[in-house]
């Protein structure tokens, strides 16, 4: 019985990792850009939500609703004014720029909010749980997991049901031919990064309500996101969810055996999947 | 004049591909650009679409300098391209490939999804198949349909017969009269001279980046083409 509980908790934890990873997967899928500042952006958004709840006394969900459009605008501007200039055949310049951004964000947050560990207050939701018969699960992990699914369904709807999604896929396939269709690839990239920042805001909301965060933990969140994206198969959103779940389950199982093994077990799970499926679980057919 | 190049000099880095090319295209006209491999035919089309950047005044659309505009802006002015090698989007179905051609520039005109399916009925049966799963000829039909979906004033066709079987080429060229009748002016770049002459009103022959011959398609002789193609008379 304890094992079922462990696995269920691991699956739900995977939802959080999938949320971390979805924005990363989106940006990589469309423009082959690896954003090393993704984890720091989640922390940045978490501080933003904290600031709004603190100063305006708002519910964190409402605060995230306010933060999301602001983050979209920031993401759009970041892509338009900075990242579009370094995107090209060479993959190194964008890596270096996002690495620099990561350092700058961490230090900027440290300057503004100090190194204190913080948490977004979520009231009674923090400890509420529901009895599902076999297992008892917290409302918060359940809500996180449901949100991860909703985000992935939503992104897939945009990708496969809208003209914008068609432009995303076409630009990802071949930006030059997309421009012959009247699509400005750089504009599409800017919208994609804006959208990724909305997903980052959602990830930040759940990270901030579930765990303590401080300006320095972005890179540690990023590594789980990367692992989820890679074992899922680069660019596949459902693969990213599967990847997140695998890492979540590996971590909780590892922790159930010995609490010291939680982090290590997650990384070992990652390596084992890569040994069996070097291109990930759901690799894109065309690449 | 609908479309015009004036002293167009396109280059790939240090390599100069065109040396002062002047061509004109009137409304409703079909012009063929012929010439050997490397004569600069595709470069000419890539310059018009804005994939290759040039001096603004080197390409004029209705008298407006467009030589320095990016491809997406040139396309929105009504100049659509059927690129060499088809270049269908692999992640998009046949129908999505067609839809994306008309999603940014939405101009009223004769062409719609239904009109394209009427022009190339085989595409309707295959509309949910990935674009790149089709045969070469069917892919070419999608590429032509995709360009028509924006109801362009000017349709640029780059080597549409390249790599296709003669029977397939015949099917595709059979659609040309209807495309012409819809009102679009067309520039056809071809290595297949017979095909090019069969649809064109006028012909330009390029050799080594220069126009060596321009004549009405009906009046042109094989000898003149041969000279323009290879230089000295054989």
pLDDT, tens digit (0-9, with 9 covering 90-100), for A164-217: 999 999 999 999 999 999 999 999 999 999 999 999 999 999 999 999 999 999
Q: Which of residues 258-287 of A touch B (CB under 8 A)?
A: 286
pLDDT digits (tens, 9 = 90+) for B55-111: 999 999 999 999 999 999 999 999 999 999 999 999 999 999 999 999 998 888 899
Beta strands A129-131 and B30-35 are: unpaired
The span from the CA of A110 to the CA of A99, in Å, is 17
Joined together, the tokens standing for residue B38 give 């490397």
**Closest alpha carbon within chain A to B45:** A180
pLDDT tens string A256-282: 999 999 999 999 999 999 999 988 888
Question: Comparing C-alpha atoms, which of A229, A198, A221 is closest to residue A33?
Answer: A229
- Predicted confidence at residue A92, as pLDDT, reads 92
Q: What percent of chain A has pLDDT over 70?
A: 98
Residue A79 — very low, low, confident or very high, per pLDDT cuts 50/70/90? very high
Interface residue B133 vs chain A (CB under 8 A) = no
Confidence of residue A286 (pLDDT cuts 50, 70, 90): very low
CA A157 to chain B, closest CA, distance in angstroms equals 15
Residue of B nearest to A29 (CA): B91
What residue in A sits closest to B148 (Cα-Cα)? Answer: A181
In a domain, A41, yes or no: yes
How far apart (Å, rounded) are the C-alpha atoms in residues A221 and B140?
47
Report yes or no on A285 lying in a domain: no
**Per the CB < 8 Å rule, is B101 touching A181?**
yes
- Provide the domain count of chain A: 1
Give the DSSP H or E segment for B144.
Answer: helix B136-148
Averaged pLDDT of chain B? 91
Are the Cβ atoms of B70 and A179 closer than 8 angstroms? Answer: yes
Q: Which of A172, A174, A182 sits opposite B75 (nearest CB)?
A: A182
Contact A183 B72 (CB under 8 A): yes
Closest partner CB to A166 (pick from B72, B76, B99) = B99
Instruction: Kindly state whether residue A201 falls inside one of the protein's structural domains.
Output: yes
Positive or negative CA dihedral for B130, B132, B133, B134? positive
B70 touches chain A (CB under 8 A): yes
B127 to chain A, any CB pair closer than 8 A? The answer is no
Look at chain B and report how many structural domains it folds into.
1
> Would the CA dihedral through A41, A44, A48, A54 be positive or negative?
positive
Quick one: pLDDT at residue B234? 46
Domain containing residue B84: CATH number: 3.40.50.300
Instruction: Write out the H or E segment, with its range, that includes residue B43.
Output: helix B41-49
Residue B58 CA to residue B9 CA, distance in Å, equals 8
Average pLDDT over residues B202-229: 87
Task: Dump pLDDT digits (tens) for A135-161.
Answer: 899 999 999 999 999 999 999 999 999
| Assigned domain for A283 exists | no
Is the Cβ pair A180, B91 closer than 8 Å? no
Q: Which residues contact B15 (CB under 8 A, 6 or more apart)?
A: none
Query: Is B83 in Cβ contact with A163 (below 8 Å)?
Result: no
Compute φ and ψ for B33, nearest 5 degrees. Answer: -110, 115
HEC string for chain A: CHHHHHHHHHHHHHHHHHHHHHHHHHHHHHHCCCCCCHHHHHHHHHHHHHHHHHHHCCCHHHHHHHHHHHHHHHHHHHHHHHHHHHCCCCCHHHHHHHHHHHHHHHHHHHHHHCCCCECCCCHHHHCCEEECCCCEEEHHHHHHHHHHHHHHHHHHHHHHHCHHHHHHHHHHHCHHHHHHCCCCHHHHHHHHHHHHHHHHHHHHHHHHHHCCECCCCHHHHHHHHHHHHHHHCCCCHHHHHHHHHHHHHHHHHHHHHCHHHHHHHHHHHHHHHHHHCCCCCCCCCCC
Would you call B30 helix, strand, or coil by DSSP?
A: strand
Q: Are B51 and B71 in contact (CB under 8 A)?
A: yes
Q: Cβ of A183 and B104 within 8 Å?
A: yes
What the block records as the tokens of A7 is 């696995």
Residue numbers in B near A181 (CB within 8 A): 72, 75, 100-101, 103-104, 146, 150
Q: What pLDDT is stored for residue A287 in this prediction? A: 45
Whether A284 is in a domain gets the answer: no
d(Cα A35, Cα A57) in Å, to the nearest integer?
33
Tokens found for residue B117:
């399916």
Number of neighbours of residue A34 by Cβ within 10 angstroms: 17
* Domain of B146, in residue numbers: 3-230
pLDDT digits (tens, 9 = 90+) for B134-167: 999 999 999 999 999 999 999 999 999 988 999 9
Average pLDDT in the B3-24 region? Answer: 90
Are the beta carbons of B81 and A180 separated by less than 8 Å? yes
B19 close to A (CB below 8 A): no
**Residues of B in Cβ contact (< 8 Å) with A166:** 92, 96, 99-100, 103
Is B75 in contact with A180 (Cβ distance < 8 A)? yes
Domain that residue A270 falls in: 2-276
Tell me if A176 and B75 make a contact (CB, 8 A cut-off): no
Quick check: B87 contacting A, CB < 8 Å?
Answer: yes
Flag whether A281 is in a domain: no
Q: Cα–Cα–Cα angle for A134, A136, A141, nearest 5°? A: 130
Instruction: Please calculate the CA angle B107-B110-B116 and round it to the nearest 5 degrees.
Output: 105
A30, A164, A180, A234: best to mutate for the B interface, most B CBs within 10 A = A180
Say which CATH number the domain at A195 has.
Answer: 1.10.3470
pLDDT for the residue numbered A47: 97
- Predicted confidence (pLDDT) per residue in A37-69, tens digit: 999 999 999 999 999 999 999 999 999 999 999
For residue A179, list chain B residues with Cβ-Cβ distance below 8 A: 50-51, 70-72, 75
Please return the burial class of B86, using the count of CB atoms within 10 Å of its CB with bins 0-12, 13-18 and 19+. buried
User: How confident is the prediction for chain A on average, in pLDDT?
Assistant: 93
- Lookup: tokens for A190: 């800017």
Look at residue B233 and tell me whether its pLDDT is greater than 70: no
When pLDDT is cut at 50, 70 and 90, the band that residue A285 belongs to is low
pLDDT of residue B94: 96
């Amino acid at each position: 019985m304890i094992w079922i509980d462990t696995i269920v908790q691991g699956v739900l934890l995977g939802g959080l990792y999938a949320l971390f990873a979805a924005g990363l997967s989106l940006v990589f899928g469309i423009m082959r850009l690896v954003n090393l500042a993704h984890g720091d952006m989640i922390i940045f958004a978490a501080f933003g939500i904290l600031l709004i709840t603190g100063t305006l006394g708002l519910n964190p969900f409402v605060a995230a609703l306010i933060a999301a459009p602001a983050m979209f605008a920031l993401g759009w501007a970041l892509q338009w004014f900075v990242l579009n200039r370094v995107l090209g055949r060479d993959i190194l310049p964008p890596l270096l720029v996002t690495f620099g951004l990561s350092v700058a964000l961490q230090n900027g947050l440290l300057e503004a909010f100090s190194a204190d560990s913080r948490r977004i207050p979520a009231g009674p939701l923090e400890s509420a749980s529901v009895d599902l018969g076999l297992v008892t699960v917290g409302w918060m992990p359940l809500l996180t997991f449901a949100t991860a699914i909703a985000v992935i369904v939503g992104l897939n709807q945009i990708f496969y049901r809208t003209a914008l999604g068609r432009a995303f896929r076409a630009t990802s396939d071949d930006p030059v031919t997309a421009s012959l269709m009247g699509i400005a690839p750089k504009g599409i990239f800017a919208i994609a990064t804006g959208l990724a920042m909305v997903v980052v805001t959602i990830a930040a909301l759940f990270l901030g309500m579930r765990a303590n965060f401080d300006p320095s933990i972005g890179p540690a969140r990023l590594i789980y996101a990367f692992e989820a994206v890679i074992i899922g198969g680069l660019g596949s959103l459902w693969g990213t969810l599967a990847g997140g779940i695998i890492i979540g389950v590996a971590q909780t199982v590892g922790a159930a055996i010995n609490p010291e093994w939680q982090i290590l077990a997650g990384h070992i799970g990652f390596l084992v999947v890569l040994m069996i499926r070097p291109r990930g679980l759901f690799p894109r057919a065309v690449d | 004049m609908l479309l015009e190049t004036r002293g167009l000099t396109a280059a790939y880095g240090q390599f100069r591909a065109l040396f002062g090319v002047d061509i004109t295209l009137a409304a409703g006209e079909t012009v063929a650009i012929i010439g050997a491999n490397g004569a600069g035919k595709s470069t000419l089309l890539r310059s018009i679409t804005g994939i290759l950047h040039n001096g603004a005044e080197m390409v004029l659309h209705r008298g407006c300098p467009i030589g320095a505009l990016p491809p997406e802006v040139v396309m929105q002015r009504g100049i659509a391209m059927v690129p060499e090698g088809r270049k269908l989007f692999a992640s998009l179905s046949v129908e999505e490939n067609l839809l994306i051609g008309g999603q940014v520039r939405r101009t009223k005109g004769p062409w719609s999804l239904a009109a394209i399916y009427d022009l190339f009925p085989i595409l309707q049966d295959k509309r949910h198949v990935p674009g790149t799963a089709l045969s070469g000829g069917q892919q070419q039909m999608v590429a032509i349909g995709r360009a028509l979906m924006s109801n362009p004033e000017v349709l640029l066709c780059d080597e549409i017969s390249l790599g296709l079987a003669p029977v397939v080429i015949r099917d595709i060229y059979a659609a040309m009269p209807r495309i012409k009748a819809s009102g679009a002016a067309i520039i056809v770049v071809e290595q297949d001279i017979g095909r090019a002459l069969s649809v064109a009103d006028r012909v330009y022959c390029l050799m080594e980046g220069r126009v060596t011959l321009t004549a009405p398609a009906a009046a042109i002789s094989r000898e003149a083409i041969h000279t323009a193609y290879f230089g000295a008379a054989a």
